[in-house]
Amino acid sequence: MVVATQACSDWNALADQVLGGEEITREQALSILNSDDDELLSLLAATFRVRREHFGKQVQLYYLKNAKSGLCPEDCGYCSQAADSDAPIEKYAMLNEAKLLDGARQAAENNARTYCIVASGRGPSNREVTHVSNVVRKIKDEYGLHICCCLGLLSPEQATELKDAGVDRINHNLNTSRNFYDDICSTHSYDDRLDTLKTARDVGLELCAGLIVGMGEEYNDLIDVAFELKGLNVESIPVNFLNAIDGTRLEGKGDLAPQFCLKTLCMFRMVHPSTEIRVAGGREVNLRSMQAMSLYAANSLFVSDYLTTAGQTPQEDFRMVRDLGFEIVTGDAKVASLLNSSEQDMPASSCEKSGNCVSLPIADAP
Active-site residue, 79 included: yes
Question: Active site residue: 8, 51, 76, 185, which one?
Answer: 76
- What is the separation of C-alpha 312 from the centre of its chain, rounded to a whole number of angstroms? 15
Angstrom distances, CA of residue 78 to CA of 104, 217, 242, 281, 324: 27, 13, 7, 12, 32
Alpha carbons 149 and 159: distance in angstroms, whole number: 10
Q: Is the pLDDT of residue 364 over 50?
A: no
Q: Which of the two residues, 112 and 116, has the higher pLDDT score?
A: 116
Among the listed residues 8, 149, 185, 208, the single catalytic one is: 208
Q: Is 208 an active-site residue?
A: yes
- What is the SS3 assignment for 196? helix
Average pLDDT over residues 232-249: 87
pTM equals: 0.83
- Contact between residue 281 and residue 61 where contact means Cβ atoms under 8 Å apart: no
Whole-number Cα distances in Å, 363 to 59, 103, 313, 331: 9, 23, 21, 8
Which residue in the list 8, 51, 72, 193 is annotated as catalytic?
72
- Answer yes or no: is pLDDT of 86 > 90: no
Q: Give long-range contacts, CB 8 A cutoff, 24+ apart: 194-199.
A: 195/153, 196/152, 196/153, 196/154, 196/170, 196/172, 197/170, 197/172, 197/232, 197/234, 199/154, 199/155, 199/156, 199/159
CB 304 within 8 A of CB 284: no
Q: Which of 102, 70, 65 is nearest to 86 (CA)?
A: 70
Lowest mean pLDDT among 127-136, 144-153, 262-271, 323-332: 323-332
- 72 carries an active-site annotation: yes
DSSP 202: H
Does CATH number 3.30.420.40 belong to domain 50-364? no
Greater model confidence, 82 or 318: 318
Q: Given pLDDT bands bounded at 50, 70 and 90, which one contains residue 252?
A: confident
Catalytic residue among 79, 149, 261, 266: 79
Closest CA to 108 of 65, 72, 150: 65
Catalytic residue chosen out of the listed positions 116, 149, 150, 266:
116
242 Cβ contact list (under 8 Å, min separation 6): 78, 212, 213, 214, 215, 250, 253, 254, 256, 282, 286
Active-site annotation holder among 113, 169, 249, 278: 278
Catalytic site residue from 8, 51, 113, 148: 148
307 half-sphere exposure, CB direction, 13 A CA radius: 26
The arithmetic mean of pLDDT across residues 250-266, rounded, is 90
Residue-level pLDDT at 122 = 83
Question: Is 150 an annotated catalytic residue?
Answer: no
In the residue annotation, 178 being an active-site residue is answered as no
DSSP letters of 271-293? HSTTSEEEE-TTHHHHTGGGGGG
* Structural Rg of the chain based on CA atoms: 20
| Percent above pLDDT 90 for the chain | 55
Instruction: Assess whether 116 carries a catalytic annotation.
Output: yes
363's enclosing H/E stretch is strand 362-364
Q: What pLDDT score was predicted for residue 350?
A: 38
